[in-house]
Structures are given as structure tokens and as C-alpha cells.
């Protein structure tokens, strides 16, 4: 099967607009090139040393992983920290913000380099009931936008935030949706991360990071994280618990 060339910035933005999958796109540098990484064991560090040590370096590239946590668990702060760490390394990052929850001020406080961030804003999802179909359409559009970003192959880290989506809306998505997204990221150098309130999906070699809040600090947060992945040979769960502090 011939290799597919990564989409250019113009291609990606044109596709997103043509499919009406975006509300706002932040500016990207003139050149959007794939990360110059070719190590199949490469990882995307979170920037929190203790956590990265427990994760054997960070989130695996070429895999779909997930961060799971309840509201106020520290999941959002961890995501912001990861985006900031990636942009500090000079990588391009993408945030598919399904429900338009990203707070720009918090991103700036976390020191995210917005010139290296593609922020795709979704539509606010209403409450269940009369808005149920609107909920489903909004999530479907966000998934389609995520697929385009993963196909681009230009980003070191891609985060899909659906943490506040109604559970019944997510359950309506076919399971094949996640399999298709896994295939898109596998074999590349992008670390794909889903963010949710409960388990969503991940690649066989991806990881699940379950977080819960510890004491909130003036300089950051303490979190407890439970890391689950599959052993390469025996496919047995490997769980690691760690407390990490990050500014």
C-alpha cells in the first residue's frame, strides 16, 4: 500500500471548514511538518518527572491512549501541562475540544505556546432530552474533525476532550469508530490521547491513565494516577499507581 503524504496546513484547514467541523482555528506556523521522529518506541513526555518515570517516559507515540477522571480530578490540568510540555519541545499539538470547554487563560497560565496549537472548537452540547440528537451530531462532528487531524500526521500530540459529553451520547457511537481512529494513529509518531470521565477506548499498546485529585497546591496540583497497559507478550494488565506534583 503506497504511503500517504501528510496533509498540509492549508489542506487541513480547508477540509475542516468545508465539512463545517470548526468554529475557530488558531493560527499555525507557515510550515506544518510531521515530527522528525522515527523510533517505534518513542513517547510523548507529560512534563511531570515522577509521572513520566512511572509511564516509562510518557504516552506512547503511534498509539491511542486515554486519561480518565471525574470533574476536579486534575485531568484538565494534566492535559494543559502535557500540551505545554509538547509545545516547549517545539512540537505542533492539536486539541479537538468537542464541547468548547478550553479556557484560554488557563492555557496561557500553563505556558502553552499557542502559535503551535491547533484548537478545534466544537459546539456546546445541551442537556439530554430534546437536545439528544444535537448532542449526538456534535460528538459525531468532533470525531470527524479528530479523524482529519490524525490523518494529517503533522502533530506530536493530539488530544480529544470529550470529558463532559453525556455518557448516553458516547454510547451511541459505534465501537468501530474507535477502531478506525486507532488505525489512523498506529504506525505514526503522533500520541493520541482521549480525555473522558470513564473508560472510552485505546490501542492495544496504548495506556489508560486514571487520575484522581490530591491536595491542591499554590504551585500546581497533586494527583494520583493509575496506569494500565498491556504486556507485550502475555497481554496481562500492568498497573502502576503514582502521586505526581506538577506546576
Rounded to an integer, what distance in angstroms lies between the CA atom of residue 210 and that of residue 228? 8
| pLDDT at site 235 | 41
Please say if the pLDDT value at position 193 is more than 60.
yes
Rounded to an integer, what distance in angstroms lies between the CA atom of residue 211 and that of residue 225? 4
The answer to whether 148 and 12 have CB atoms below 8 angstroms apart is: yes
pLDDT 10s digits, 203-226 = 888 888 888 765 444 344 555 556
| pLDDT at site 81 | 92
Long-range contacts, 128-134 (Cβ 8 Å, 24+): 128/166, 128/168, 132/168, 132/169
Q: Calculate Rg over the CA atoms of the chain.
A: 17
Please say if the pLDDT value at position 80 is more than 90.
yes
| pLDDT at site 215 | 44
Mean pLDDT of 72-77: 86
The answer to whether 198 and 70 have CB atoms below 8 angstroms apart is: no
Quote the pTM value: 0.78
Confidence of residue 25 (pLDDT cuts 50, 70, 90): low
**Cell numbers for 23:** 468554529
Q: Which residue has the higher pLDDT, 69 or 20?
A: 69
Mean pLDDT of 104-123: 90
Whether domain 9-45+56-204 has CATH 3.90.950.20: the reply is no
The answer to whether 126 and 139 have CB atoms below 8 angstroms apart is: no
Amino acid at each position: 500500500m503506497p504511503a500517504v503524504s501528510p496533509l498540509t496546513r492549508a489542506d487541513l484547514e480547508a477540509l475542516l471548514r468545508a465539512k463545517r467541523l470548526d468554529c475557530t482555528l488558531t493560527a499555525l506556523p507557515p510550515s506544518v511538518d510531521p515530527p522528525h521522529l522515527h523510533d517505534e518506541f518513542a513517547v510523548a513526555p507529560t512534563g511531570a518527572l515522577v509521572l513520566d518515570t512511572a509511564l516509562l517516559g510518557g504516552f506512547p507515540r503511534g498509539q491511542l491512549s486515554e486519561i480518565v477522571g471525574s470533574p476536579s480530578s486534575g485531568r484538565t490540568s494534566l492535559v494543559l501541562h502535557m500540551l505545554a510540555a509538547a509545545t516547549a519541545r517545539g512540537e505542533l499539538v492539536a486539541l479537538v475540544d468537542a464541547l468548547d470547554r478550553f479556557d484560554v487563560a488557563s492555557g496561557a497560565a500553563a505556558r502553552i505556546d499557542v502559535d503551535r496549537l491547533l484548537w478545534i472548537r466544537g459546539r456546546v452540547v445541551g442537556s439530554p432530552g430534546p437536545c439528544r440528537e444535537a448532542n449526538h451530531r456534535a460528538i459525531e462532528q468532533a470525531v470527524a474533525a479528530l479523524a482529519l487531524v490524525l490523518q494529517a500526521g503533522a502533530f506530536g500530540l493530539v488530544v480529544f476532550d470529550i470529558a463532559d459529553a453525556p455518557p448516553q451520547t458516547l454510547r451511541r457511537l459505534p465501537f468501530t469508530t474507535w477502531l478506525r481512529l486507532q488505525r489512523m494513529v498506529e504506525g505514526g509518531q503522533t500520541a493520541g490521547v482521549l480525555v473522558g470521565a470513564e473508560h472510552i477506548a485505546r490501542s492495544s499498546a496504548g495506556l489508560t491513565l486514571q487520575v484522581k485529585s490530591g491536595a491542591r497546591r499554590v504551585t500546581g496540583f497533586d494527583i494520583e494516577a493509575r496506569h494500565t497497559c498491556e504486556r507485550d507478550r502475555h497481554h496481562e494488565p500492568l498497573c502502576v499507581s503514582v502521586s505526581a506534583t506538577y506546576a
